[in-house]
Amino acid sequence: MFLSFACVLLGGVPSTPAGAFDLFGWFRKSEEPPSPSASALPYSLEFSTGGDSDLAQALKDASTLQTLQSDPPPDATSLVTRAEADLPRLIDALWGAGYYNARVTIDVAGVPLDLQTSRTDAATRAAARYQARALVPIRIVADPGSQFVLRNVDIRDARSKHPFAPSELPQRVVKMQPGDPARSADILAAEARVVDHFRAQSRPFAKVRHLEPVVFHPARVMDVTLGVDPGPRAGIGTIAIQGAEGVDPAVVRSFIYTEPGDPYSPAALASMRKSIGQIEALSSVRIREAESLDSFGNLPLFVELTERPPRIVGASVQYSTTDGPALRAYWAHRNLFGGAERLRLEGNIFYLSEDGGQPGRDDEWTWDNLGGRFRASFLKPALGGTRNDLLAEAMVERDRTEGYTSRFVNATAGIRHRFSETFSVQGGIEYEKGQTTDVLGQIDYTLVGLPLSLSYDSTDNPLNPTQGVRLLASVAPYPEFLGSSVPMTVARGTASAYYSLDDEARYVLAGRLGLGSIVGADLEDIPANRRFFAGGGGSVRGYRYRTLGPTFLGEPIGGRSLLEASVEARIKLTDTIGVVPFLDAGTAFESSYPDFDERIRVSAGLGLRYYTGIGPIRLDVAVPLNPERGDPSFAVYVGIGQAF
């Protein structure tokens, strides 16, 4: 499905420059100065720091000459003024890196400028000679000298004037000690960590009262004194809800799992924002803290909300070499009756060929070759102001895959209870009536079941998790006494975990394990669309979709159990670009439990990630490691969000 899309993007017009397709700025070069003219005085710019690339970058980040190089001044006087204004900025940048004896000279057309001497007129005359002729050569020369180090680091209670005990303020929080480089950024970062540490100890008013860095130039050292007022301990006080008048406040309160009197912490507030943010009718959640404690020693909070537009309409058109053409459209209302009720209607139309793929040239088009899916879903959160949500869904589908064809109607209704923002349990009833046909034969079936599921999600980001765990487990018995024509019980579980190897989450290990089992019925009696299959983008990448598992006469028939596993190393090369080597494995089995009669299929691959504000854009290339006849040599997948 995705391979054809990639080919169009990368190879559709080979004579077109790469920049024409540069959707994300990957191929853009730095802006060059314009050509000399009578109305502008452009300049070339060179940085000399003795080969220290980090210092050179720090100077470039601080330099107005660098930032405005593509917007040259009109004359020599303005250019020299711009250069002189850069001198204190560049000195500050070097001081911030711990070089407090640094010197900076800006050479304008051969005339050096520094903070000690003034040669403005000479530099102006020299630069004016280049007007409308050539770029004015400017060279920034930095002599940083020796980097200063910390000699004494003294962090005290601003009230008692006594140093904090290690039990009150561990060294792992401060992360500064004698001998470290005396960088201002490190000192400010330590200041922020200390304040965050005390706020996490239920002290909302923790602050640094004074910061005294003292530099000793001859010794090239710095002493730092930090006076910190931890403030009083506090609990969470009353929680007032403001804004979003169109949404029932009782619904919002049901998504707040913190009670007045609970210990205050920034983590509790972040958890509150995350849980309230699950309400689809809301676009933003801001929690404002009161400026003082109440009479009980608690901190009142104000939850400020804004609403989303209630209605949303969308459509998409797709085409692929494996699935053929497809159309999709949907409409949703996110606040139907004023209680954040969500109603969503979605329709899909797609082509059905004999093998589940695209139409062949000799295929005769008929209405029978159209498949489709229509789904209507309804969510009523916070029934009666409780943490119970009503969910209902109805779906009609006609589909054909490489292994089977199916048509059915399905309806479910259930109640979900939210224990917390991370843990919920759902139970309900399900009805499905349909027909499936595969190489084993045709099955006309009715299923009436009582599905039960639990969900736990402690991850930090739904599209790009870097830490936490996700668990989803479900069991659905379809007993004969309720009217099921195929008495069976279907169980499935998926677990994934994420671990960041560094504080910036530039290196993340991710793993996923999936299991499934069907008991109570023989394989040939189970509707084909209810059996387990592996393979494809959400399973074992590199293999065809839903083709891994038992076969009969060379056709996939699915199994009664499933085993899948994936491991990824997510590595950020820059703030926006990352690579992901991965390994997938899995298959379906004929028995109700994985007995390994089927060979575990394995694939490996490499992914590219482009990180955006809404989530990473994913491009994965996977290669089967133990392919069988008919398996592709590789597969390409494109999507938004991580693979799991």
Assigned domain for 87 exists: yes
Q: For the chain, what percent of residues have pLDDT higher than 70?
A: 91
CA atoms of 430 and 3, how far apart (whole Å): 37
Distances (CA, A) of 384 to 255, 339, 428: 13, 10, 18
Question: Total structural domains in the chain?
Answer: 4
β-strand 561-572 against 507-519: which pairing, if any?
antiparallel
> Residues near 26 by Cβ (< 8 Å), separated by ≥ 6?
577, 610
pLDDT in tens, 72-91: 999 999 999 999 999 999 99
* 455 shares its domain with 574: yes
Assigned domain for 355 exists: no
* 157 shares its domain with 134: no
Question: Above 80 in pLDDT, residue 173?
Answer: yes
Helix (H) or strand (E) holding 528: none
Alpha helical stretches, state H, 237-304: 249-254, 266-276
CA atoms of 77 and 89, how far apart (whole Å): 19
pLDDT at 360: 52
CA atoms of 376 and 644, how far apart (whole Å): 26
Q: Residue type at 627?
A: P
* 526 shares its domain with 601: yes
Q: Are 610 and 24 in contact (CB under 8 A)?
A: yes
Please state the three-class secondary structure of 365-425 as a single string: CCHHHEEEEEEEEEEECCHHHCCEEEEEEEEEEEEECCCEEEEEEEEEEEEEEECCCCEEE
CA atoms of 569 and 468, how far apart (whole Å): 15
Residue 413 CB coordination number (10 Å): 14
Domain closes at, from 177, 211, 229? 229
pLDDT in tens, 274-290: 999 999 999 999 999 99
Task: Give CA 598 to chain center in angstroms.
Answer: 36
Task: Find, among 124, 129, 36, the residue nearest to 82 by Cα.
Answer: 124
* 255 shares its domain with 123: no
Q: What is the CATH number of the domain that holds 273?
A: 3.10.20.310
pLDDT in tens, 430-442: 999 999 999 999 9
* 82 shares its domain with 156: no
φ and ψ at 252, to 5 degrees? -60, -45
C-alpha angle 420/421/423, rounded to 5°?
Answer: 60
Assigned domain for 366 exists: no
Q: Are 632 and 542 in contact (CB under 8 A)?
A: yes
Question: Average of pLDDT values for 569-581?
Answer: 95
* 224 shares its domain with 260: no
Task: Find, among 37, 142, 143, 40, the residue nearest to 82 by Cα.
Answer: 40
* 543 shares its domain with 462: yes
- DSSP notation for 84-103: HHHHHHHHHHHHHTT-TT-E
Distances (CA, A) of 523 to 5, 152, 197, 495, 517: 37, 74, 58, 26, 12
pLDDT at 146: 92
Helix (H) or strand (E) holding 144: none
Helix (H) or strand (E) holding 117: none
- For residue 609 the two structure tokens come to 């990630």
Task: Find, among 560, 474, 471, the residue nearest to 512 by Cα.
Answer: 471
* 176 shares its domain with 260: no
From its phi and psi, is residue 158 left (phi > 0), alpha (psi between -120 and 50) or beta?
alpha
pLDDT at 2: 36
What is the residue range of 577's domain? 401-640
* 263 shares its domain with 223: no
Give the pLDDT band (50/70/90) at residue 129: very high
Q: What is the CATH number of the domain that holds 586?
A: 2.40.160.50
Assigned domain for 376 exists: no
* 208 shares its domain with 246: no
Assigned domain for 375 exists: no
Helix pair angle (184-200, 76-96), 10° resolution: 60
Task: Find, among 422, 633, 441, the residue nearest to 524 by Cα.
Answer: 441
pLDDT in tens, 193-244: 999 999 999 999 999 999 999 999 999 999 999 999 999 999 999 999 999 8
* 299 shares its domain with 171: no
Assigned domain for 13 exists: no
Hey, is 482 helix, strand or coil?
A: helix
pLDDT at 324: 59
Assigned domain for 446 exists: yes
Alpha helical stretches, state H, 49-203: 53-62, 64-67, 76-96, 120-128, 171-174, 184-200
Task: Find, among 414, 426, 381, 424, the residue nearest to 251 by Cα.
Answer: 381
Torsion of CA 199, 201, 205, 210, to 10 degrees: -80
pLDDT at 320: 54
CA atoms of 539 and 587, how far apart (whole Å): 9
Q: Are 211 and 188 in contact (CB under 8 A)?
A: no
pLDDT in tens, 5-41: 333 222 333 333 333 334 444 444 446 788 888 899 9
* 449 shares its domain with 521: yes
CA atoms of 261 and 300, how far apart (whole Å): 10
pLDDT at 366: 63
pLDDT at 323: 55
CA atoms of 182 and 149, how far apart (whole Å): 5
Assigned domain for 18 exists: no
Domain closes at, from 278, 307, 336? 307
Domain closes at, from 186, 210, 229? 229
